[in-house]
Amino acid sequence: MVIIKKQTMEQLSKELLLPYTGTEQDWDIEMADSNRINDFLNFYQQNDLSADKRVAVVSLILASYEDYLSENDLRIDDRWNEIKTILESEGVIFADLIHYWSLGNEIGEDNLFRITTLIRSV
């Protein structure tokens, strides 16, 4: 599991206009929004972010894309290619995220995230 610092969550929540209250246990999951994936991708690509912020924004993107796949019967779109490129470009800082979402030891399809098979291709 990836740990996101409280200060990073607070800053990004303000910058991205997220409904952050400070009581979230899983910030990236609770702030995920499948309708804002493009906003999150643009924010990531257009800002010079620290490693902590890059990990947090990509966490938010992955959780949002997981929601998108759930809502759209696993219909992959062009945004996946952007996400995959980001993950591959800095695999070292995203290793924990990739590990979390890929569920490496899990083989039962009922136990996988919707995004797991995509993440495993990274």
Q: In which region does residue 74 sit, left (phi positive, over 0), alpha (psi from -120 to 50) or beta (all else)?
A: left
How far is it between the farthest Cα atoms of the chain?
Answer: 39
Report pTM: 0.94
pLDDT of residue 110: 85
pLDDT in tens, the chain (122 residues): 678 999 999 999 999 999 999 999 999 999 999 999 999 999 999 999 999 999 999 999 999 999 999 999 888 899 999 999 999 999 899 999 999 999 988 888 888 999 999 999 99
**What distance in Å separates the CA atoms of residue 114 and residue 110, rounded to the nearest whole number?**
10
